[in-house]
Amino acid sequence: MQPITIADVAAATGVSRTTVSHVFSGHRPVRQETRELVLRVAREMGYRPSAVAKSLRARRTNTVMIVIPDIMNPFYPGFARGVQDVVSQQGYHALLCNTDAVEASERGYIEDALARRVDGVVFVGFRVPISDLDILTEVGTAVVAVGPAPEETMVDTVWLDDVAFSREATAYLLRKGLGPVAHITGPTDTAVEVKREIGFRQAHADAGLEVHEDLIVSEEFTHQGGIEGMTALLAGPTRPRSVFCANDLIALGAMRVAHEHGLRVPEDIAFVGVDDIDMAAIANPSLTTVRLRIHELGTICGRRLLERLNGDWTGNGRSMALDAELVVRESA
């Protein structure tokens, strides 16, 4: 029940704790026989160095915290895995935290990160401004956030240019000249939603076309949201010929409603989503969508974090935009 300590091993072998320590760390040479003795006895006794004690001493926990809204949202598993694939290679473990995009929760995890002395934090926040993460960098914690960078900070940021790819996707639909393009957005209080709508409008402006205001509806970022959005759209006065949906779940839901109304996709109505979740390729018809390269977003965050952790970068926060690619499939 009581874990074996380095002192137990030292006593059992007749060497000092220092020597046992160095046998395990390799930080200084130990005579061959001594090392083998220590190793053998340690194994027999079931000794495992305590990472807790090591952390206290070394002021390093070899732990990073990944803060996201919800691992059940299909967007995040790939992201989390991307971060982990990178940082685990250097021996870091990851605390995964779900905030549900609740402000108090986001703030709570910042406090936890501080209290637990994690070495780094990858933060995907919806309610807390990135500048509020400075409290972490001030005590030397490496921080990478997903989102737009504030003026002055030590937080590295990586972000997806929502405006750019939404504009591009909408332009693609507009170029087809099918007629009115609708937009089913997410909740209007999210930064992401706002930007996707801006891109939608810019594409219209670029093409010298008017936005059909009655064809913009706001829903949850879910399959159900898509169902409700599309139902509302079809009940309206203007019949859209294509729909730019703020994410794939919405698009899938919307497409299903269109199908139930006897509309053919893409002949009668075309759909474009955002995310390229697995479902997009599997759906029937398969969904044309903006591929966000989420796993790569994660690996980039992980790499940035490691650069900080290894001291390869100690300057101000760097900002980087990851571009997205329109994947044309059957739905548009």
- Residues binding a second copy (CB under 8 A): 1-3, 46, 48-53, 55-56, 61, 63, 70-72, 74, 76-78, 80-81, 84, 93-98, 111-112, 114-117, 135, 138-140, 223, 252-253, 256, 259, 278-279, 281-284, 295
The residue among 214 and 330 lying less far from a second copy, judged by its C-beta, is 330
Going by the DSSP 8-state scheme, the letter that residue 276 receives in this structure is -
- Beta-carbon contacts of residue 85 (< 8 Å; ≥ 6 apart): 298, 299, 302
**Residue 291 half-sphere exposure, CB side, CA atoms within 13 Å?**
10
> Which residue's CB is nearer to DNA, number 38 or number 233?
38
Residues in the chain: 332
Distance CA 317, CA 233 (A): 43
Residue 254: CB minimum distance to DNA, A: 52
Residue 236's binding partner out of a second copy, DNA, none, with CB under 5 to 8 Å set by partner kind: none
Spell out, one character per residue from 271 to 310, where the chain touches DNA: x when CB under 7 A holds, - when not: ----------------------------------------
Single residue of 27, 151, 177, 314 touching DNA by CB under 7 A: 27
For residue 145, list its beta bridge partners.
123, 157
Rule CB under 7 A: is residue 36 a binding residue for DNA? no
DSSP H or E segment with residue 250: helix 248-260
User: H or E element: which one contains 107?
Assistant: helix 103-115
The string of DSSP letters for 33-56 reads HHHHHHHHHHHHHT----HHHHHH
Q: Which residues bind DNA (CB under 7 A)?
A: 2-3, 5-7, 14-19, 21-22, 24-25, 27-31, 33-34, 47-50, 52-54, 56-59
